[in-house]
Amino acid sequence: MDKNDKLGFLNIDTSLYQTRISNKFQNRKPYQPADPRIILSFIPGTVLEILIKPGQKVSKGEDLMILDAMKMQNKLKCNMDGKVKSIKVKKGDKVSKGTVLLELE
């Protein structure tokens, strides 16, 4: 063991163990429950078409956007009845998986 080791503590079953903490553990994202009002990109791709406007009333099952991804046109469907609060992307934007596309209210 190197004397210059950077050691931290890991809690397992209420015992604190002195040890090196991996980057993967340090960089893990804290869990957040999914919010149905925030619509995320379910696939990486390009925003081909935006079919709604801010303030517009939408109902469950309605098409919101078309994402061009994996050589397919993917329709993004509304998951609840509500109103479009804001749109976070523009036509032509490239988005990665998990990008916020729009918010409902």
Partner 1 sequence: MPVNKKIRELQEKREKILLGGGEQAIEKQKAMGKRTARERIMALLDENSFNEYDLFVEHDARDFDMDKKSLPSDGVIIGSGTIYGAPVAIFAQDFTVAGGSLGLMHSRKITKIMDHALKMRMPLIGINDSGGARIQEGVNSLAGYGEIFFRNTISSGVIPQLSVILGPCAGGAVYSPALTDFVFVVDNISKMFITGPEVIKTVLGEEISMEDLGGARVHSEITGNAHFFALSEEECFDQIKKLITFIPWNNGQKARMFEPGEPKPEYNINKIVPEDPTLPYDVRDVIRAIVDNSDFFEIMELYAKNIVIGFGRMGGRTTGFVANQPLEMAGVLDVDSSDKAARFIRYCDAFNIPIITLVDLPGYLPGVDQEHAGVIRHGAKVLYAYSEATVPKLTVILRKAYGGGYIAMSSRHLRADFVFAWPSAEIAVMGPEGAANIIFRKEILSSPDPDGMRKQKVEEYKTKFANPYVAASRGYVDAVIEPSETRKFLMHSIEVSENKDVPMPHKKHGLPPF
Cβ(98)–Cβ(45) below 8 Å:
no
Identify which of residues 15 and 59 has a Cβ nearer to partner 1 in the complex.
Answer: 15
- Name the minimum Å distance from CB 102 to partner 1: 19
Site for partner 1, rule CB under 8 A: 1, 5, 7, 10, 12-22, 24-25, 28-29, 31, 44-45, 69-70, 94, 96
Identify which of residues 16 and 80 has a Cβ nearer to partner 1 in the complex.
Answer: 16
- Name the minimum Å distance from CB 84 to partner 1: 24
* Cα separations in angstroms, 28 against 56, 69, 79, 83, 96: 37, 27, 28, 33, 19
* Cα separations in angstroms, 62 against 6, 43, 80: 53, 18, 9
Identify which of residues 47 and 78 has a Cβ nearer to partner 1 in the complex.
Answer: 47
Question: DSSP code of 12?
Answer: E
